[in-house]
Amino acid sequence: MKTVKSMSLYVPGNSIIHRLEPITKLIYVMVAGVLPFILPANPTAVLCLAVTLAMLTISKTLTKVIPLTGFTLLVLLSILFIQGLFHEHNQTFLFRFGPFVFFKEGLSYAARISLRVINLLLGISLLSLTTKPSDLIDSLVRRGLSPKIGYVLSSVLQIIPQMAASVNAITDAQRARGLETEGPLIVRAKAFLPLIGPVIMSSLIQARERAMALEVRGFNANRRKTFLRAANQSSRQTTIRILLILILFAAIVWRIFA
């Protein structure tokens, strides 16, 4: 069977951002993502974006963000285009681009949406690129997440690509025995049916064997689980987390009373 890379986006490294406790990063992403929705959008989003970009630069993962966000940027560009042209409150003429007339209100509305989305997206990218999924899950399990749910979350990233590889192997085997799998849509649709049986059966068998393997490695043992990775529980990280949560509360309070 062909081997397939895990779906994890983690880029190995040893920067200060990599070394941050995953929960600290998770809280940062949540706070930075939510703040522009509570406080005045543009300056807050720009500030959060600047911090996230600085962290991405420090962790040397900035270049990896581009392929991750490429498609979304395309969507945001189309939002800028459509809102700039057709937003319902468009009044103030800004500039003309060929036959297209852009208005200030629409563009500023689209910019606000775009900034919020990019901010959120870069935050999530920062977390994914600098945190091993297993470390994040471990941190969550340490704080009370069920190990079973933790396993499902972390295994999905690795096992789905393997299942996709199984499907490819079965397709190749069927093709070797004369099944037409390429050509017009109707031919492909016909080829799909003979694949369903073997794919489902092999997945079920593999799932059963894996369940047994987990069982005999003490997955359900009635013992207090320990972790290979040491928890990074420095007082500085705790301070950062408390500070982030306080900022969020302060923002909510400001929003309610201001």
Partner 1 sequence: MKKIIVEKLKYRYPMTGKLALDNLSFTVEQGELIGIIGANGAGKSTLCLALTGLVPHFYRGAYGGKVVIDGLEVIKSEISELALHVGIVFQNPFTQVTGSKLTVYEEIAFGLENMGLDRSEMTARIDEALHLLDISQLKDRDPFQLSGGQMQRMAIASVIAMKPGILVLDEPTSQLDPQGSDEVFKAVRRLAKEGMTVIIAEHKIEKIAAYADRVLVLYNGRLIDFDTPHKIFSRTDLLSYGVPAPVYTQICQALGIQHPRSGTYPVTLEEAYLAMVNQHGDSLC
Kindly state whether residue 64 participates in binding partner 1, applying the rule CB under 8 A.
no
Q: Does 223 bind partner 1 (CB under 8 A)?
A: yes
Query: Is the Cβ of residue 6 or residue 238 nearer to partner 1 in the bound state?
Result: 6
In the region spanning residues 138 to 197, those forming contacts with partner 1, defined by CB under 8 A, are: 150-151, 154-155, 158-159, 161-162
Judged by CB under 8 A, the stretch of 26-34, 45-53, 73-81, 220-228 that binds partner 1 is: 220-228
Residue type, 142: R
> Does 220 engage in binding with partner 1 (CB under 8 A)?
yes
- Per CB under 8 A, the list member of 206, 237, 240, 252 interacting with partner 1 is 206
CA end-to-end distance (rounded Å), the chain: 61
Q: How many residues bind partner 1 (CB under 8 A)?
A: 41
Write down the least CB distance from residue 140 to partner 1, Å: 13
Nearer to partner 1, 34 or 159 (CB): 159
Q: Which x/- pattern, by CB under 8 A, does the window 225-244 give for partner 1?
A: xxxx-x--------------
Smaller CB distance to partner 1: residue 69 or 203?
Answer: 203
Choose between 50 and 204: whose C-beta lies nearer to partner 1: 204
Which residues are near partner 1 by CB under 8 A?
1, 3-6, 8, 10, 132-134, 137, 150-151, 154-155, 158-159, 161-162, 206, 209-228, 230
